[in-house]
Amino acid sequence: MSDDKKYGAYICTGCGLGERLDSTAQTNVASRDGKMGVVREHGFLCNAEGVQLIRDDLASGEVSHVVIAACSRRAKTEAFAFDDVAMARANLREGVIWSQPDGDEARETTQEMAEDYVRMACAEIKFMATPQGDPVSDTSRRILVVGGGVSGMTSALETARAGYDVTIVEKSATLGGHAATLQTRIPQQAPYREPEPSGVDELIAAIEAEARIEVRLNAALTSTDGAPGRFEVEIGTESGSTASERFGAIVMATGYTDYDMANLPELGAGKSPDVVDQAGFEALVKAADGGPIQCPTNGREAKHVVFVQCAGQRSDQEGHLPYCSGHCCLTSIRQAMHAQEAGASATVLFSDLRTPGAAGEDFYRAGQECGVTFCKGTVSEVLPGDDDLEVRYNDLILDEQTSLRADLVVLATGMVPNSGVDIDTIAAEENEEADGVAAGAEGTAQENTVTIPVESILNLKYRQGPDVPQLKHGFADSHFICFPYESRRTGIYPTGPVRRPMDMQQAQEDATGAALKAIQAVEGAALGRAAHPRSGDLSFPSFRKEGCTQCKRCTVECPFGAIDEDEQSYPLFNSSRCRRCGTCMGACPVRVISFENYSVETVGQQLKIVEIPDEFEEKPRVLILACENDAYPALDMAGMTGQHYSPYVRIIPVRCLGSVNLIWVTDALNNGYDGVLLMGCKKGDNYQCHFVKGSELAHERISKVDETLKTLSLEPERVLTHEVAITDIQRIPEIINDYMKTIEKIGLSPFKF
């Protein structure tokens, strides 16, 4: 602590704080315990006069570090915004007077709570500095789009029109991707009655006319290194030449591969050329050129065309896709309309006809009106006969096994994302090998995945692996609920069907979003600001090299692959890849990682300063470490809506549960707290954790605390983790109050001194 830090605490008595709390006592706490040089009370701190009071002290140099004891840190952020000034806030309004009952009985415990929060803020501020940011010098603002299909072209156009230079790298010889093979597309405009031109030619023409867009065909990324604002990319061409280029951000629009229908022999695939997939049918329509559609076997006219929906999809069977590809029902309707138009009769066999999007229902009706027959049934077999095919199915309405004859069968197979290498599987395999477990042993709980030979797409030189992490079924991981375009590699934005199954219209919307994200990433990197979800945050983690044991936990646990290794095997932080979650800080066993304004100390000192009543006072203390994204706002809202919870808890917001360092938990227990509650977001495949893995990692770490507790002869209930959502405004107070009952049952901690 250098001496030029001057502390000032400002205690607000507005919003009922003055009536409910003894502000003089707080002033004493701030100056005596908190050692604040300046302590001032004000009746309305967030109004112009109150804010001016603080500003004057800052201007005169009397104060450089500010403690505000008023409302939640989430409230009045605009009033209390002082540039380049470290600030800690004691949450006395939402966190104390609104969450505690009024009246004489509660007055004492409420006051104790308030005084503790003032103490905590004073302790925190001593270890805070204002973040200075780590701007990328010489930022590139050029955006790289990988993939020249509809998603990629849309992203490129949107980015270029916003004034940024774009390079499209496409591995094939032409732009257009899958869409270029389509005769028409599902209508995107009212009245949604007829298939419309795919629009791909116009897109390609627009790309060619756009001066800001450069297209590299027959090219792929052979190496990608760096970070947002400074990606160093090697683009290799078929001829073997490579070019090194610098980009600011990357849009990964690598699309999908058609599911290989060879996996579906029971549906006739491979047994008769007259069984095709949707792409195959598209080619037949094209070959027919407006005339009758011909069967591939012998060129006879296809008079009866049967479409089999969900072929190898939405199925638990080995080798099938467990998910719905989202577009195929509408695509079959469109293709059936083509069949009808060519003079054939078309039948669509479905188990659920799913027609999402604006066009959906109207287009379905149009299909029915033009005479396509829709039957609710599941197909069990397609058998090639002498001169046609027999489609056996279970009619789900008439509840009978029956069959249909067809000249041509079209299988609506799904899409398999081109997301590159599954780095988690690789890591798991490496671990298995390292553990001496025979790799690929039978009986490992493998999900039924479709294995297609994969090559890396990005060839990232990150320590964590060459591609973006996947979530489920091979789709690139992105925060589905809150930040759909964000992958787990900052500055790299998967978009279109590589992210989740979607149709062309959805892909175009998605691609527009990804373009905006890419722009945000380059601009943020130039300023040293976090892109998301702490957008604008200038703080970034750094580590004390002397203390580091090179354990590599930070590099492994960072959910965003922000940390590489330097030549000496020390962690190498890439601040513009970092999301500022603090997961590395929580992971570090020797606690050498910190942010300027958030560290093991800023939280550790707070929890240590809380007054722990001795065991005869019968006032337990429970520490709550609450995720500031969901749990903490929910607690604030509990206060706002007048829900009361125990006065014996002390709540400290954390950036992410992942940033919780176990030392906080052990310190709390050693200091005589009777329990520690951790509240974070939902983890797992359907996670809501803003930092994807933070909550999961915290749960894992805490599960290991059980052992420690045992050796201390403490009950496992003393440390619990809860998954909560921002909407759990009623539930969280219940969790707290139930926990207090548990503490009552197991008794106070034996570690009180």
Binding residues for ligand SF4, per CB under 6 A? 541, 543, 548-554, 558, 560, 562-563, 571, 573, 578-584, 587-588, 590, 592-593
Piece of 391-399, 514-522, 577-585, 640-648 that binds another protein (CB under 8 A): 391-399
Q: Please, what is the minimum distance in Å from the beta carbon of residue 376 to another protein?
A: 5
Compare residues 400 and 738 and give the one whose CB is closer to another protein.
400
Count of residues that interact with another protein, criterion CB under 8 A = 14
Q: Please, what is the minimum distance in Å from the beta carbon of residue 409 to another protein?
A: 18
Piece of 80-88, 364-372, 569-577, 627-635 that binds another protein (CB under 8 A): 364-372
Report the SS3 class of residue 391. Answer: strand
Asked whether position 387 contacts another protein by CB under 8 A, the answer is no
Q: From the list ligand SF4, another protein, none, which binds 646 (C-beta under 5 to 8 Å, kind-based)?
A: none
Q: Please, what is the minimum distance in Å from the beta carbon of residue 378 to another protein?
A: 14
Which residue among 376, 392, 463, 608 contacts another protein (CB under 8 A)? 376
DSSP string, 597-621: TB-HHHHHHHHHHS----GGG----
Gap between the Cα atoms of 432 and 447, Å rounded: 17
Position of tokens 């052990």? 666
Compare residues 134 and 407 and give the one whose CB is closer to another protein.
407
107 φ, ψ (degrees, to nearest 5) = -60, -45
Q: From the list another protein, ligand SF4, none, which binds 402 (C-beta under 5 to 8 Å, kind-based)?
A: another protein
Q: DSSP code of 384?
A: E
Compare residues 292 and 547 and give the one whose CB is closer to ligand SF4.
547
Which residue among 173, 397, 438, 445 contacts another protein (CB under 8 A)? 397
Piece of 49-57, 83-91, 394-402, 605-613 that binds another protein (CB under 8 A): 394-402
92 φ, ψ (degrees, to nearest 5) = -95, -20
Q: Please, what is the minimum distance in Å from the beta carbon of residue 146 to another protein?
A: 41
Q: From the list another protein, ligand SF4, none, which binds 336 (C-beta under 5 to 8 Å, kind-based)?
A: none
Give every CB contact of residue 352 below 8 A, 6+ residues apart in sequence: 310
Give every CB contact of residue 377 below 8 A, 6+ residues apart in sequence: 349, 350, 351, 393, 394, 395, 396, 397, 402
Q: How far is CA 737 from CA 380, 495, 608, 728, 743, in A?
A: 55, 44, 23, 14, 10
Per the CB < 8 A criterion, the answer to whether 246 and 136 are in contact is no
Which amino acid type is present at position 571? P
CA angle 54, 60, 62 (to 5 degrees): 75
Q: From the list ligand SF4, another protein, none, which binds 686 (C-beta under 5 to 8 Å, kind-based)?
A: none
Per the CB < 8 A criterion, the answer to whether 119 and 611 are in contact is yes
CA angle 295, 299, 301 (to 5 degrees): 65
Q: Please, what is the minimum distance in Å from the beta carbon of residue 582 to another protein?
A: 51
Asked whether position 374 contacts another protein by CB under 8 A, the answer is yes
Report the SS3 class of residue 166. Answer: strand
Compare residues 272 and 583 and give the one whose CB is closer to ligand SF4.
583
Which residue among 398, 426, 428, 481 contacts another protein (CB under 8 A)? 398
Asked whether position 371 contacts another protein by CB under 8 A, the answer is yes
Compare residues 329 and 492 and give the one whose CB is closer to another protein.
329
Asked whether position 402 contacts another protein by CB under 8 A, the answer is yes
Gap between the Cα atoms of 221 and 235, Å rounded: 5
Gap between the Cα atoms of 125 and 597, Å rounded: 9
Piece of 115-123, 321-329, 360-368, 600-608 that binds another protein (CB under 8 A): 360-368
Which residue among 22, 210, 266, 395 contacts another protein (CB under 8 A)? 395
Position of tokens 């078929």? 238
Gap between the Cα atoms of 724 and 461, Å rounded: 36
Per the CB < 8 A criterion, the answer to whether 407 and 292 are in contact is no
Q: Please, what is the minimum distance in Å from the beta carbon of residue 661 to ligand SF4?
A: 10
Q: DSSP code of 476?
A: B
Q: From the list ligand SF4, another protein, none, which binds 395 (C-beta under 5 to 8 Å, kind-based)?
A: another protein
Asked whether position 393 contacts another protein by CB under 8 A, the answer is no
Asked whether position 193 contacts another protein by CB under 8 A, the answer is no
Q: Please, what is the minimum distance in Å from the beta carbon of residue 355 to another protein?
A: 10
448-452 CB contacts, 8 Å cutoff, 24+ apart: 448/316, 448/317, 448/318, 448/319, 448/320, 448/322, 449/473, 449/474, 450/259, 450/260, 450/263, 450/319, 450/320, 450/321, 450/416, 450/474, 452/257, 452/260, 452/416
Which residue among 315, 373, 394, 742 contacts another protein (CB under 8 A)? 373
Compare residues 452 and 590 and give the one whose CB is closer to ligand SF4.
590
Piece of 16-24, 55-63, 195-203, 365-373 that binds another protein (CB under 8 A): 365-373
Q: From the list another protein, ligand SF4, none, which binds 374 (C-beta under 5 to 8 Å, kind-based)?
A: another protein
Q: DSSP code of 3?
A: T
Per the CB < 8 A criterion, the answer to whether 417 and 476 are in contact is yes
Compare residues 400 and 717 and give the one whose CB is closer to another protein.
400
Residues in region 298-357 near another protein by CB under 8 A: 353
Which residue among 85, 288, 375, 720 contacts another protein (CB under 8 A)? 375
Compare residues 371 and 716 and give the one whose CB is closer to another protein.
371
Gap between the Cα atoms of 622 and 643, Å rounded: 18
Compare residues 340 and 456 and give the one whose CB is closer to another protein.
340
Which residues of the shown chain bind another protein in the complex (CB under 8 A)?
353, 364-365, 368-369, 371, 373-376, 395, 397-398, 402
